[in-house]
Each structure stands twice: as C-alpha cells, then as structure tokens.
Structure 1
Amino acid sequence: MWLLNATTEKQRTGLAEYFNPTLVRTPGASGDGVEAGMRSAVVQDLPDSEKAAEFDDISRRIQNQLSGTGAESMQMTNLLRHVVTRMTDEGLVIELSDLTEQPLFMDDTAQPQPALEELARIIARVLGQVRNQIAIAGHVRAYPEMLVTSPVWALSDARAHAVRNLLERGRLDPQRIQRVTGYADRKNRSANPMDPVNNRIELILLR
C-alpha cells in the first residue's frame, strides 16, 4: 500500500499546510490575506511586457512550491515525485505522471488513486491563488492493436475530467477551467507507445 494511505488526517493537513500559499504579496494589493494579493497579481492594465514578467514570476514561485525542495516528510517527497513543471509559450505546464510502482489511476480506468486525490487538493490550493484560466489535457499509453475497440480516446478524456472534478472538489473555481481535452496516445513521451510513462495529466496555467 502506498505510503499516503497510511497517513493520518493530521499528516494530510500538514501536507496541505506546506503548500499554504506564500507565493506572492503584490505591492499595493488590497486585503490582509495572501489570496487577496495573489488575485491582484494578474493586472489587466499592465503592458504586455510587464504582464509576461508578472506571469513568469508567479510561475516560478508555483514551480518552487511544487518542486518538493524543503519538503518536511517522506510522504511529501513521494507525492511530489509525480509532478514535473515546465514553461511553454502557452503557459506553465504542471504534469502529473504515473510512476512505475505508483500509478495515478486504478488499472486501466479513470478511478483516481489516493495519491492523485491528494495531489489535486494541493494543486487546487496553489492554483487558487492566481486568476489565470486553466486547461487540462489527458494522455494515455497505447494499447495492443489486436483490441477490437481501443480505449485510448475515451480513457484519456475520462481521466482529464476526473482531474477536473478533483480540482473543483478542492475548491478551484470551475469558471477558470477553459478546456478539458483527451489526446489519447497521440503525444507520447516514450519511444515505446505502450510505456506507462505515457500516462499523464497536464494542467496548464494559461498566460
């Protein structure tokens, strides 16, 4: 059984508190809370160059929180092994990937494992401090061609929507989700299309 299953409610609270946002306090932001500051961080009237710099700064801070640097427990370290972040022209990509011994979904279904449920709560908390819209993309490994009906399209779509549901349960504003897409096995990470490493969900914080 994966380590998170053995954690107590207090330990799970500790995981969330590790990510309790200290991301940005924008100078001049109204309100006393960090959330108020973060929600003022994306200012529509800024010039494009300043908007880009602001987005890059926020993204770096989010990446730092999701890197696991300074994690205080083995549970946290194990959990964040599923997370890889990178910057693209579209925005900040937060990739949630299967590990060989720790899949994010149960077998070949869209039923989340406890690890994914915990990750979604943490990411919803972190992304809840900015205003940018979010895109969700589901990717799955290929299946043998001998199958009468390949599950890749339905499965990638169902998994993307499962993560959307988890984020919304974590109190992420549903109006911020711009699109949910299933890419089947069309954008593999591995040269072997059936490699489990191809199973992943991408959350994109859009510019």
Structure 2
Amino acid sequence: MTMASQPIIIKKVKKHGHAHHGGAWKIAYADFVTAMMAFFLLMWLISMTTQEQKVGLAEYFSPASLSPATSGAGGMLYGTSLDSSGNKPSTPREAARGFAEPKDGARPTSPSSASEPDYSAIASLRQALQKMPDIAELSRNIVFETTKEGLNVSLVDQDGRSMFRDGSVDPYEHTRRVLEALAPALSRMPNRLSITGYTAAARPGSAQAVEPWNLTAGRALAVREILSGAGVRNDNFASVVGRADTEPVFPDNPYIAPNRRVTITLLNASAPAPSNFLR
C-alpha cells in the first residue's frame, strides 16, 4: 500500500547585514585623547618652567605695544601699579582690559579727563613708529601706558635686544632712530615731557660697572638730547631724572632685562587756577 505523498517545504532564511553606524565616534574619541594629551603636556611644562621663563612667555604672547595702568609713580610695562604694598606688576592681559580700541571716532573707555593726553596722542606716536620699516623687531621694546601723571612711552630692554649699550649711557642706533621718529609728534603736543631712567639690580655677588644713579640719569639725559636735537623745544622738558634700581617693574625678580628702561612721560596739563586765586 502506497502512502500519499506530502509536499516537502524548504524554508530559506535570508540574513541581512547590520546597518552601517559610521565612524564619527572614532573622530570624537581621537579629539578627546589629543586634548587630554595636550592638557597634561601643558601641566608638565608649567611645572618645569621657572618664574622668569613664565614671564618671558607671557611677554612673547601678549600685545606689548599698548598697556594702560593706574600707576602712581612712573609704573610701566604692562600696567604696574603703586599702592601701600609696593610696586606690583599685573599680567599683560589684565592690563589690556579696560582700554578698548575706539570705534567710529569714539574716545577710549579708560578713565580720562580733559587735561590728559587723549587717544589721539597714542595714535600719533604709533603712526610715527609705523613709518620705520623694521618696527616689528622693536615692537616689544616700546611700551605705551596711561597713568595718572599722563602718557608713558617706555623704551624697555628685552632679552636679546637692549636699547642702550651695556653699562653705557650711549644708545644703540635703533634707539636713536626710534626717538628721532617720535620727536616730531612729541613737539606738536602741548604736554610737557618728563624723562626718567631706570636700571636692573645687580645680581648677588656681582658688581655693576657703572654707578646706577649716574647710569640712569645719563641715559635719561641722552634721550633728552636726542629729542632736543630732533626738534623738541627745550622748554618742553619738565624734568630729567635717574631712579637707579629703586623701582623695578618686577620686584620679585629685579635682575631681569625689562627692569632696564627709560620712560618719556607726556604730563597731564595742570588744572587752571581759580579766577579768585590771587585776590
């Protein structure tokens, strides 16, 4: 007896591949690892550098051409200020705050009065310097700073480039050219000029070749003579003094190069006397 044939059913299962998820996560992970490596490298560099090296790095990456401050006694270089605790330098970026570039002819946002040199004085002096083809090499040596006394224009030594010959009152040729470029703009301004010389302290165990008071006074006189020879009238000068090493920019490290500088101050005009003052 034959059995009834039954149909044979073959079930085929088709396998589908997984959807492609993309490689964006790999890029994000690589960025994260790179950022972490850079962070730990930065922490390592900070822990390995000295305070002097940190100051040098800050100067290199900061806009040193303009530096407002509230100095009370000739503070300069990134806005040093003088208070009851002494002469303390602020960081370049802290000093840069509070002095905004004017827009559409507006005045700067720093505190000012009618008797102070306005922003046009800074603009005139900067324009005079920009005419020098090699000004880029000297930009870190020329510091503008607003203070209570007026506008400071400082010729500052930096590591690798000085404004005066070592231990001498004779300026380098590039220093003379800077002063001669500034002279026409200074002679057109109504402000009287005060010139002050400063130097760095001698390191322990070493002696300065020239007495620091004579050195700084001589350098200030040399600056006055160059400006006078380039057209600034003698009656424009209010004072020429040397401060030796008594007012370092960096009190914690008075030996480094930026403590050596000569500052030309455009003094604020004196307030007019009351009409009944002499009565």
TM-score, normalised to structure 1, is 0.67
Query: Structure 2 matches for 1:1-207, cutoff 5 A?
Result: 52-53=113-114, 55-57=116-118, 60-67=119-126, 71=130, 74-144=133-203, 146=205, 147=207, 151-190=211-250, 191-207=252-268
Residues 189 and 90 of structure 1: is their aligned pair in 2 closer, same or farther, counting only changes over 3 Å?
same
Q: Is the 8 A contact 2:117 2:266 kept in 1?
A: no
Q: Name structure 2 gaps, 5 residues minimum.
A: 1-111, 269-279
Provide the C-alpha distance between the structure 2 equivalents of 1:178 and 1:105, rounded to a whole number of angstroms: 23
TM-score, normalised to structure 2, is 0.51
- Percent of residue pairs bearing the same amino acid type: 25
Residues 78 and 62 of structure 1: is their aligned pair in 2 closer, same or farther, counting only changes over 3 Å?
farther
The structure with more helix, counted as a fraction of residues: 1
Over alpha carbons, which structure has the higher Rg? 2
Shift of 1:72: 6.5
Shift of 1:137: 0.3
Shift of 1:115: 1.2
Q: Name structure 1 gaps, 5 residues minimum.
A: 1-50
Moved over 6 A (4+): none
Shift of 1:130: 1.1
Secondary structure, aligned partner of 2:174? helix
- Letter aligned with residue 89 of structure 1: K
- Superposed CA RMSD in Å reads 2.5
- Letter aligned with residue 255 of structure 2: M
Provide the C-alpha distance between the structure 2 equivalents of 1:71 and 1:178, rounded to a whole number of angstroms: 27
Secondary structure, aligned partner of 2:218? helix
Shift of 1:201: 0.6
Provide the C-alpha distance between the structure 2 equivalents of 1:142 and 1:111, rounded to a whole number of angstroms: 19
**Superimposed CA distance per residue, residues 139-192 of structure 1 (whole angstroms, 9 cap, x where no aligned partner):** 001114543986211111111111111111111101110111100001101221
Residues 101 and 65 of structure 1: is their aligned pair in 2 closer, same or farther, counting only changes over 3 Å?
farther
Higher RCO structure, 1 or 2 (CA under 8 Å, sep 6+): 1
